[in-house]
Structure 1
Amino acid sequence: MIGLTGSPYGSSFPYAREGSFYLSGYKGAAIWFAPVPLFDHSGVVSTFRQLELTKTKFGSIIKLHLLSLALLIVFSFIFYALIWKLAPIPSGAYPFVEKMWPLQATMETIWIKSTLPGGADVVGRLIRWEYISAGMVFTTLLYGGLMVLKAPPLLFYGLIAGLGTGAWIHYTLPTFIGAMLGKFYFSKKYGEKRWRAYAPVILAGYGCGLGLIGMAAVSLVLIAKSTSQILF
């Protein structure tokens, strides 16, 4: 999907791992804990292109990854030890863990029990083929209609992303507003070619700033939680 839409989230097959286990007829729980390498590494192609454009040697990026791995291993244990000593996990000090871990464990257990001999097949009762068929017919007609109107294929994948992975309003609305501003305001103000050159730089700056703010916020939270108040 990266080659078609520029993003791995334009369209995808949901529950590919879970569906393959369930439909295979396997009975037991061991397969759910096996390391199944379902990863999309097609984005590395763009990295190779960046190496060519910046005239960076392939050996340099290998050295970079080795250095990053060494630093990651060392500092990960430092932060793991710090976080582990702050408060028990799960506890009120970690609200995400306290709220989401039980939910994630429950959802995973539902899938695991679906392949256990004599287990409650909740997944089988949840699968509604009429809904799946209706979705397939709808998307087929939508794609056919867009092709008849000679619309670009990216419009189809954008609609699918909006209806599926991007259905949350705090994702969809800012994306739509940004696209409208870029199309009808910034492209006219700076010129389409110039704006297309500026947009990646602005996005990179935004990402760096967001990362710095996030790390600063995490640091402040760790400092605040690691201190205790003493009443005199």
Structure 2
Amino acid sequence: MIYSSGWADKRIWFAPVSIYAGGPGIAQAFMQADILQASKSEYIKTYIIVFFAGILVTLLFVSYLWSLSPIPSGAYPATIIFWPVDAMNWARWQVWLWTGYFFRRDLIIGGFAAGSAIYLLTSLLFHKPYFLVAFITGAFGSYLGYTMQLEGTMAMLIGSIIGNKVVSRILSRRSNIPYGVFANRFYMGGAIGWSLMESIRALLILVSRSMWLLPY
């Protein structure tokens, strides 16, 4: 819409502040409160307290990291590795958008034709009209703001097939736990364990970097 209007002022795309409203998460929390017959006011109070506490802790933590070494610098390798990549992707998006590369007629018509053919094929022959949407969101999904690579989506696909076709049958024979309950618990346990190990790893790196940056 902005491109078609011919609006020449592009400063809005360079705004450094991003706003996260969190609407879906708040609506989900309210629904959970209704199901559990809990008080929504308690959630609102906790949300406000955690929000301001998070801002304060973030400022303190970033200030401490900056006191050790400037950001970006060699003391923080991720800033040297990922920040240029993010800047390049952002700049490429701006070039493709404002030069009209995204709005090429052959790309639009070709994409529409390919999507229609795949939809008709999967809907009429396999009776799975959701295949195209699932494939696109799975192949080009995002995680923590970064586009997922092919190896990540393929791992999820293989794991899903093994879980639904193999693990679910083993569970049905040896226990009464439904596969959906087992998968959620397994994922929760893995996520908690992974988060704990990542916290320990980050702490060890921070301590080692702090000792290395000292003048004595």
Shorter-chain-normalised TM-score: which range? 0.7 to 0.9
Change (3 A) 1:185 1:165: same
Aligned to 1:146: 122
1:205 aligns with 2:186: no
Aligned equivalents of 1:139 and 1:39: distance in 2? 32
1:87 to 69, 86, 104: 69
| 1:1-232 → structure 2 map (5 Å cutoff) | 20-34=1-15, 41-109=23-91, 123-124=99-100, 128-149=104-125, 151-165=127-141, 168-191=149-172, 194-228=178-212
Matched-pair contact (CA < 8 Å) for 1:90–1:97: yes
Change (3 A) 1:193 1:148: farther
Aligned equivalents of 1:214 and 1:43: distance in 2? 25
- TM-score of the superposed pair, with normalisation by structure 2: 0.77
Q: Which moved more, 1:134-143 or 1:106-115?
A: 106-115
Higher-RCO chain (CA-CA 8 Å, sequence separation at least 6)? 1
Change (3 A) 1:112 1:144: closer
Q: What amino acid is the match of 2:111?
A: G
Aligned to 1:15: none
Matched-pair contact (CA < 8 Å) for 1:187–1:195: yes
Q: What amino acid is the match of 2:194?
A: L
Q: Which moved more, 1:32-41 or 1:215-224?
A: 32-41
Aligned equivalents of 1:227 and 1:24: distance in 2? 56
Aligned equivalents of 1:202 and 1:32: distance in 2? 41
Measured after TM superposition, the shift of residue 26 of structure 1 is 1.1
Aligned equivalents of 2:209 and 2:11: distance in 1? 39
Matched-pair contact (CA < 8 Å) for 1:21–1:31: no
Q: What amino acid is the match of 1:22?
A: Y
**Aligned residue pair count:** 207
Aligned equivalents of 1:218 and 1:51: distance in 2? 35
Aligned equivalents of 1:25 and 1:108: distance in 2? 21
Aligned to 1:12: none
Measured after TM superposition, the shift of residue 50 of structure 1 is 2.1
SS in structure 1 opposite 2:212?
Answer: coil
Change (3 A) 1:188 1:109: closer
Measured after TM superposition, the shift of residue 229 of structure 1 is 7.8
RMSD: 3.3
Q: Unaligned regions of 5+ residues in structure 1, if any?
A: 1-19, 116-120
Measured after TM superposition, the shift of residue 214 of structure 1 is 2.1
Measured after TM superposition, the shift of residue 143 of structure 1 is 1.2
Change (3 A) 1:163 1:172: closer
Change (3 A) 1:56 1:147: same
